[in-house]
Amino acid sequence: MKSNALLSLLSDREIHSGESLAQKLGVSRTAVWKHIRKAIADGTDIRTIRGQGYQLVSALDLLDRDIILGQLNASVRERIQLTVLDEVDSTNAEVARLLTSAPLPVVLSDCQTSGRGRRGRNWASPKGQNLYLSLGLSIKGGFSALDGLSLALGVAVANAIEQVGGGEVGLKWPNDLFAQGQKFGGILVEIQGELQEGCVQVIAGIGINVHMTQAEDVDQPWTSLDKRWPDQAWVRN
């Protein structure tokens, strides 16, 4: 049973008994309970009501591969290999695994169990709240061909956010995205390959707080898209 199937049943935010969920999913009540516990551990706000069942407290914004592909133009769809996951250790790590067999892998996940930022720092990755996206590509010309890549990615992300309804986005070298002095995103670029003029493999991870509700591990002022620009209907797809 995929956790998203369970969350889909709870998405109406009504109270569902463990027995009814088990019947609809074709699993045992124990399996339902284990998945509920796992979802709560991942950051999903589910209320356990004694003698009644389970209720999703806050609406979930889960990824849908078909919706994402439907919003891309044909030329982009043909070039990329899009992978959308319920859970992954790290989208950057998954792209690294795919680069050997896919020319332009793009990976998104509803949550990360080992999300990371620069210098191996933990990147808070609760389920269904933020955007966790990585892409990989090979570039000829050695490391010199990558000058300014992190900044270029930051500008592209900032422009995209502004185009879909956000306000002014600030960039802090080398990889942070800010709104009014509060961080809401970051970019992690990892490079491997030949130093001089050979082929270089680039993995770019982009993390953006979309619906972030709490962040115990964040040691600086932070915000999210829907906190900073609440009049805009932000969706992760």
Delimit the CATH 3.30.930.10 region(s) of the chain: 65-228
Strands (E), 35-181: 46-49, 53-56, 81-85, 105-109, 130-140, 170-172, 176-179
Q: pTM to 2 decimals?
A: 0.85
Neighbour-count burial of 51, counting CB atoms closer than 10 A to its CB (0-12 exposed, 13-18 middle, 19+ buried): exposed
Give the right CATH number for 65-228 from 3.40.50.2300, 2.30.42.10, 3.40.50.620, 3.30.930.10: 3.30.930.10
Q: Where are the alpha helices (DSSP H) in 71-209?
A: 74-79, 91-98, 149-163
The number of beta carbons lying within 10 Å of the beta carbon of residue 10 is 21
Residue 43 token pair: 């950051």
User: Residue 37 has what pLDDT?
Assistant: 92
Ranges of CATH 1.10.10.10 domains, the chain? 3-56
pLDDT of residue 121: 76
**What does the pLDDT profile of the chain (237 residues) look like in tens digits?**
567 889 889 988 899 999 999 999 999 999 999 999 988 887 788 999 999 999 998 777 889 999 999 999 999 999 999 999 989 999 999 999 999 888 899 999 998 988 887 766 777 788 888 999 999 998 877 677 677 888 889 999 999 999 999 999 999 877 899 999 999 999 999 988 766 667 888 999 999 999 887 765 666 788 999 999 999 999 999
The pLDDT, as a whole number, for residue 26 is 92
40: enclosing H helix or E strand: helix 29-41
Whether the CB-CB separation of 213 and 225 falls below 8 Å is answered with: no
Please report the pLDDT score of residue 91 as a whole number: 96
Pick the CATH number of 3-56 from 1.10.10.10, 3.40.640.10, 3.40.190.10, 3.90.650.10: 1.10.10.10
Element (H, E) at 202: strand 199-209
The total number of residues written for the chain in this structure: 237
| pLDDT the model gives residue 196 | 66
Rounded CA separation 94/149 (Å) = 21
Read off the amino acid at residue 31: A
Which amino acid is it at 134? Answer: S
Name the token pair of 170.
Answer: 């600030």
Measure the CA–CA gap between 7 and 60, rounded to whole angstroms.
8
